Structure 1
């Protein structure tokens, strides 16, 4: 059963990247939904994945662990992974725990697509 406080959806952007849009609360109750979506994603060198967090209202350590797992899966497959739409408060947490050194961030999906083309 999916917790209604989180929605995680997949779409393909016209630029060729997969966008995983996350909205709501990402915590130990809802993390399995995003984990499932990430595990089903066919990561590959020519298949960039953008995780759009612009709709995320809360993220606990379990949610951060899911994002780290996505990064690991992408690195193993040689796939570009970009976190999009991270708020200032969320970025503050990423900086405190050093994940600003691990992830690539872009403010919008369009910015991420443009950066991937460069």
Structure 2
């Protein structure tokens, strides 16, 4: 059996947003990788941050806590954070625990960027 893996990368979209792309399983063992990427990311009013979860296959409570921390950091620094391409199962969990009231969700990175420029 192989260990679950997580890949978390950062790039700047051509329209200026910072995109954090997350792929694999976000859990107790892999969450530190995303946490480090978030810590090394600049948040502020001039550069919105998008977390692209289109390749996320699993997320436990530790992963949700990391996402909440990212949102808190964005708000404290006067920036914005959107979660992109959240799968239906995770969205169901967000609704159950009320996080659909905290996060901004968009279906795609392009939709998120369009919403920022609307």
User: Shared topology, TM-score over 0.5?
Assistant: yes
Task: Quickly name the TM-score band, shorter chain normalised.
Answer: over 0.9
- Which consecutive residues of structure 2, in runs of 5 or more, have no partner in the other structure? none
Which residue is equivalent to 1:116?
116
TM-fit CA distance, 1:4: 6.1
Pair 1:50 & 2:58 matched: no
Which residue is equivalent to 1:80?
80
Which residue is equivalent to 1:32?
32
Q: Aligned partners of 1:13 and 1:4: how far apart in 2?
A: 28
Deviations 1:15-70 (A, max 9, x none): 10000000000000000000000011110101100000010000000000000000
TM-score by length of 2: 0.96
Which residue is equivalent to 1:60?
60
Q: CA RMSD in A?
A: 0.9
TM-score by length of 1: 0.96
Which residue is equivalent to 2:107?
107
